[in-house]
Structure 1
Amino acid sequence: MSYTVFVTLDVRPDHLDDFIDGITENARASLRDEPGCLIFDVHRDNTIPTRFHLYEVYTDEDAFTIAHTTGNRGEVPRNVCLRRI
């Protein structure tokens, strides 16, 4: 059974460009480098331009856990997000 993650983030307005660049690269890298990552979509809210929705699908929960606890993959999203939300 697949494992789905849905995250909503409110980004600080003064960091929008950096966040968009960082999360776009993170999504590409997840699809490229994480064997269990099937989908990583980034959506910008239509009514609140500083709100983003991340939709990720992994083959299973183990694939998600491995992707977020090995190498620097767990650190990259934290660095992209925490400094900007």
Structure 2
Amino acid sequence: MTFKPKSEGYKFTKISIDNFIEKYKMSNPKEDLAQLRRNILHIKQLKKDGIKCDCGNSLWVIGSAISGKGCFTCITGETDFSDDYEID
């Protein structure tokens, strides 16, 4: 089953890879940031290649890089992603 946002007006806040990694590092100083970058680039390419979440929605690059391949809703259980980041 595919869950869509409650409003088509919901949009992620775009962020560059470097800016996201800087923000992530502040809360997760012990994480392997080089691996995170590799994961982001890999998932970003999958998304570009048209790979979708198992539910049929587009992949959420940031969430997938951290927790495994999926869309925002499958990863978080939420449909309002207007306050969340996505790689630009």
TM-score tier, shorter chain, comes to: 0.3 to 0.5
TM-score if structure 1 supplies the norm length?
A: 0.36
| Higher percent of residues as strand | 1
